[in-house]
């Protein structure tokens, strides 16, 4: 998944589709942010707070590290 801007990658798009093709709006409503913020998180343009990250993982019933992965800078 091509993501730029942050060193945090995520599997939100994949997980949404595995959960009955959940829309960004549906996920946003469940975690208390706007759809645009979900879109920014998915696209790697915004790293969410720890609380929102846990909420996303909770919605998908996954451990946090299965939803978000830290990519260490090389060199």
Partner 1 sequence: MDTSFEEKSVWIQLASLVVGLGGYLVVAGLMLSNGVSALPAFVPVFAVAIVLVVGINVAGHVVAAIASRSDEADERDRLIGCRAESRSSWILGVGVVGAIMALTLSVGGIWVAHLLLISLFGSEMAKDVLQIVYYRRGI
How big is the CA angle at 48 (ends 44 and 54), to the nearest 5 degrees? 120
Pick the closer one to partner 1 by CB: 22 or 28: 28
C-beta of 9: minimal distance to partner 1 in Å?
A: 14
Angle between helices 24-31 and 35-42 (to 10 degrees): 110
The answer to whether the beta carbons of residues 16 and 24 sit under 8 Å apart is yes
C-beta of 7: minimal distance to partner 1 in Å?
A: 12
Which positions lie near partner 1, rule CB under 8 A?
A: 4-6, 32-37, 39-40, 43-46, 48-49, 52
Pick the closer one to partner 1 by CB: 22 or 40: 40
């Amino acid at each position: 998944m091509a993501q730029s801007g942050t060193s945090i990658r995520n599997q939100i798009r994949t997980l949404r589709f595995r959960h009955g093709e959940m829309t960004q709006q549906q996920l946003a409503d469940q975690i208390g942010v706007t759809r645009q913020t979900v879109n920014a998180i998915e696209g790697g343009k915004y790293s969410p707070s720890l609380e929102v990250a846990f909420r996303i993982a909770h919605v998908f019933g996954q451990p946090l590290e299965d939803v978000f992965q830290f990519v260490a800078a090389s060199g």
